Structure 1
Amino acid sequence: MVTSLRHPRQLMIVAHPNRSASWQANKLVLLALSVPSLGIAIGFAMVGAWPILPFAGLELAALGSALYVVNWKLQYRHVITLTDDEVRIDKGFYLPRQSWRFDRAHTGVAIEREPHPWEGPGICLQHRGEAVRVGEFLNREDCLALLQLLRRELRVRSDSSAGFAAF
């Protein structure tokens, strides 16, 4: 998903993976699966098949852990801030873990051809020999939206996809 917010002297573009459910919705799914699973396990334990109870608990713990890890990974963001003088790229979960600052006058967009028609093109921001790939987790439509925003603001330095109708 790509969103942009324009201030008088700044454009902020935020790219993040699509999420089908929030953490609250995932907890409700876990609760909805826990009640019948533990109810059945307790029923079996009451008739003497007590070894089912730890396995039901392990199963729910594994599901809860998987939902948490996936939700955490979906918090990843690329924030591209364009001002009159600079381009700033921040990548990270919840807060920036990596940051780059480039002079806007010497920054350009490099577009790499998509490996498959369903995938989006690769997008790199280049500055004096350094390249930072952005939006690699985006689907095709979001990748094209990001590319359109960046093309309006920065010049295209290299385009290996020239001639394709999608651009």
Structure 2
Amino acid sequence: MAITTTEAAGAHQWVARPNRSLTPTARRRLIGGVVLLSLVVSGGFALAGAWLVAPFAGLELLVLFFALRAIARHDASFESIRLEGRQLIVTRRLPDGDLTQRFHAGWARVSLDAAPGADRLLCIRAHGQGVALGRLMTPDQRRQLAADLRQRLQP
């Protein structure tokens, strides 16, 4: 997963995004190529009298469409932490929903907590509120980000 760090005008921001090797344009080209190839092959078999190949080719294309659609749903996913002055702003956009939470940087506590059946997630808590991050990061990236945040949050 890719984490970008930016610092400008007294604000520091960390943004985690999933790696995407297949861009939307490449995805459309892939679908077009597979559809064309499938039509040519199934059309050839249909002309040769094996017309039952066409429905299975259609089913194959339908499965490919749903698989690529699931990938597209995750394209806009990101997790962001912005430290601006004494305010810590956490923004998360995942397919299961969006979240924006603000914390006072002096009261925020950073920890790595284990979720049931999963890796340890980066948790930020203050005043009875909390948010878990790190679904888009490797365990090493979570540890490194937690250490960096703890250092920057110290008075």
Same fold (TM over 0.5): yes
Note if 1:8 corresponds to 2:26.
Answer: no
1:81 is paired with a residue whose SS is strand
Moved over 4 A (4+): 113-116
Note if 1:147 corresponds to 2:146.
Answer: yes
Report the count of equivalent residues. 152
| Cα contact 2:112–2:143 (8 A) shared by 1 | no
Pairwise CA RMSD: 2.7
| Cα contact 1:2–1:145 (8 A) shared by 2 | no
Note if 1:106 corresponds to 2:107.
Answer: yes
| Cα contact 1:120–1:139 (8 A) shared by 2 | no
TM-score (norm 1): 0.76
Runs of 5+ consecutive residues of structure 2 not aligned to the other structure: none
The 2-side partners of 1:83 and 1:109 are apart by 16
* Aligned-pair CA distance for 1:100: 0.7
Output the amino acid matched with 1:147: A
How many percent identity over aligned positions? 26
Per-residue CA deviation, residues 89-136 of structure 1 (Å, 9 max, x unaligned), is 111159x821111111111101236999xx864210011222210112
Runs of 5+ consecutive residues of structure 1 not aligned to the other structure: 156-167
The 2-side partners of 1:135 and 1:88 are apart by 15
Determine the structure 1 residue equivalent to 2:21: 20
TM-score (norm 2): 0.81
The 1-side partners of 2:33 and 2:119 are apart by 36
Output the amino acid matched with 2:42: A
1:19 is paired with a residue whose SS is coil
